[in-house]
Amino acid sequence: MEFLPERNSEVDSWKEVIFVYTSALKEIGTKLEILNDEFQHVHSYNPIEHIKSRLKTSESIVKKLKKNGYESTIENMVRYINDIAGIRVICSFTSDIYRIAEMLGAQNDIRVLSVKDYIKNPKPSGYKSYHMIVTVPIFLTDRILDVKVEIQIRTVAMDFWASLEHKIHYKFEGNAPDFIREELVECAKMVSELDARMLSLNDEIQKFARDFEESYK
């Protein structure tokens, strides 16, 4: 059952929106923590560095609705805004991103609605991240609601770049000077190179560790 708020009053509906999406964040957050713990148990390795979650502010939601030509109603918020609830998963290596996305998508109570792979297809700005829109069931006393959550998965280096780009975007209200945008693109290339080199180094370390263990058996 797709989540749509009750129509008693806007105040009650907004409270319900906050409650339901907060619950969805808890559900996805717990799933990610369990997957990370299981990976540590089985492989002695944690693919997730840390997890951040947030609820979009009402002001930001209204701005996005207006931008897309929708009235600012609670129903339109729920129906047309996919990132009211958002979780950002920070990994060490690029390979971890796809590993986590695959593990999440394999869970039978999670439905993947859409995927945008900005790692294989970066934005013109240089932005890289892996985005998923999923639904997760929230079990209430009288019904089960499928609630949308946006999941962004990226490396530490990608997150560092994205954080700076976000600050610059708001500093210049989306109209940064050309030389700053060009420098950001160059920095994004450096981040990609760093991620690739760190992944290669980690592969070598893992191979060395396996060979070392084999030699003492």
pLDDT recorded at residue 155 = 97
Position 101, amino acid? A
pLDDT for residue 152 is more than 60: yes
How far, in Å, CA of 153 to CA of 151, rounded? Answer: 6
Over residues 32-60, the pLDDT tens digits come to 999 999 988 988 888 999 999 999 998 99
Average pLDDT over residues 91-106: 94
* Domain count across the chain: 1
Best CA proximity match to 138, nearest among 14, 37, 9, 5: 5
pLDDT for residue 6 is more than 80: no
Does a structural domain hold residue 178?
no
Does a structural domain hold residue 216?
no
How far, in Å, CA of 194 to CA of 160, rounded? Answer: 12
Which range among 2-16, 75-89, 196-210 has the greatest average pLDDT? 75-89
- Please give the share of the chain, as a percent, with pLDDT higher than 70: 92
Distance of CA 161 to the CA centre of its chain: 15
Distance of CA 146 to the CA centre of its chain: 18
Q: Output the DSSP codes for 79-132.
A: HH-TTSEEEEEEESSHHHHHHHHHHHHTSTT-EEEEEEETTTS--TT----EEE
Read off the CATH number of the domain in which 133 is found: 3.30.460.10
How far, in Å, CA of 179 to CA of 158, rounded? Answer: 21
User: For 30, what's the count of Cα atoms within 13 Å in the CB-facing half-sphere?
Assistant: 9
Best CA proximity match to 82, nearest among 115, 47, 51: 115
In whole numbers, what is the pLDDT of the chain averaged over residues?
A: 90
- Please give the share of the chain, as a percent, with pLDDT higher than 90: 67
How far, in Å, CA of 79 to CA of 84, rounded? Answer: 10
pLDDT recorded at residue 1 = 72
Does a structural domain hold residue 162?
no
DSSP state of 120: T
* Full domain range(s) for residue 81: 10-156
Banded pLDDT at 174 (limits 50, 70, 90):
confident
Does a structural domain hold residue 32?
yes
Does a structural domain hold residue 73?
yes
**Residue 84: both structure tokens together:** 């009211």
Does a structural domain hold residue 143?
yes
pLDDT for residue 98 is more than 90: yes
Does a structural domain hold residue 168?
no
Does a structural domain hold residue 175?
no
Average pLDDT over residues 86-106: 95
